Structure 1
Amino acid sequence: MYEVQHISISIARRPEDVYTFASNPANLPQWAAGLASSQLTQGPDGWVAEAPFGRVKIRFADRNNFGVMDHDVELASGVLVHNPMRVVPNGEGSEFLFTLIRQPDMTDEQFAEDRLAIETDLRTLKTLLEK
């Protein structure tokens, strides 16, 4: 088993609003700089993006009523990284959760950098949605 860190942020918007925006891959460049640094294009087996670490393929969970936005990221090397992500009700707002799973051969520094990138992305999402 690998080390796991749960990263969350409260967003003062209805879960449906957060889910609709965050689950749309076309919106990733607006808030997920750690994953998509340019517009995404839809291919036959997922979305393609230019990430800070190279070209990636992204496949999201099908739309659902549970707020689940899990997605797999296939790196240029062929390595597949599963990213659990969801939005849940929190009073009149939402809690957005990302589960960071440490990858094999990842150094402590790389794991900390991943966490920081995700925290930054979630703060950006919060700012966008609370405008």
Structure 2
Amino acid sequence: MTTTTRTSRHLSVFVDRPCQEVYDYARDPANIPAWAPGLASSLRPVDGRWVGESPLGRIVVDFTPRNDFGVLDHDVTLPSGRTVHNPMRVIADGTGCEVVFTLRRQPGTSDEEFRRDAEAVSADLAALKRLMEQR
């Protein structure tokens, strides 16, 4: 079944590391392949943008500027030319933090595809947690 209604899922993980440390690590595009291989197996800077190889082919990733609010939003331009905006936040929680990714269902996405996308994002967040808590 495919739906045209825009829906979102907020996927999150608690990380037992300081908020700023998690933000700094996740914000560095060079670290993306280590914790989000579903996004890109490699990323390199090209003319102020980050270009990478993904399971879908060549992508371009544009990150929001570094900020004091934990905002890690990023736009991913797919090989088709379509750009997907991905809201993401690192929110302080005591001595640790919560990393929240908002997965927006794209037009024409089936229930099964949306479920698989959510599983992939959840796996990436779990990998980020593991990597950060091993430090």
TM range (shorter): over 0.9
RMSD, aligned α-carbons: 0.9
Superposition TM-score, scaled by structure 2 size: 0.94
Shift of 1:41: 1.0
Matched, 1:12 2:12: no
Pairing partner for 2:74 from 63, 71, 76: 71
Q: Please list the CA deviations of residues 8-32 of structure 1 after superposition, one character each: whole Å capped at 9, or x if unmatched.
A: 0000000000000000111001000
Alpha-carbon separation, structure 2, partners of 1:45 and 1:16: 24
Q: Please list the CA deviations of residues 23-63 of structure 1 after superposition, one character each: whole Å capped at 9, or x if unmatched.
A: 011100100011012x2111115101111111100000000
Aligned length: 130
**SS class of match (2:30):** helix
Pairing partner for 1:88 from 78, 88, 91: 91
**Runs of 5+ in structure 1 lacking a partner?**
none
Superposition TM-score, scaled by structure 1 size: 0.96
Q: Please list the CA deviations of residues 62-121 of structure 1 after superposition, one character each: whole Å capped at 9, or x if unmatched.
A: 000000000000001110000000100011100000000000011111101100000000
Q: Percent identity?
A: 48
Alpha-carbon separation, structure 2, partners of 1:21 and 1:94: 13
Runs of 4+ in 1 over 6 A off after TM superposition: none
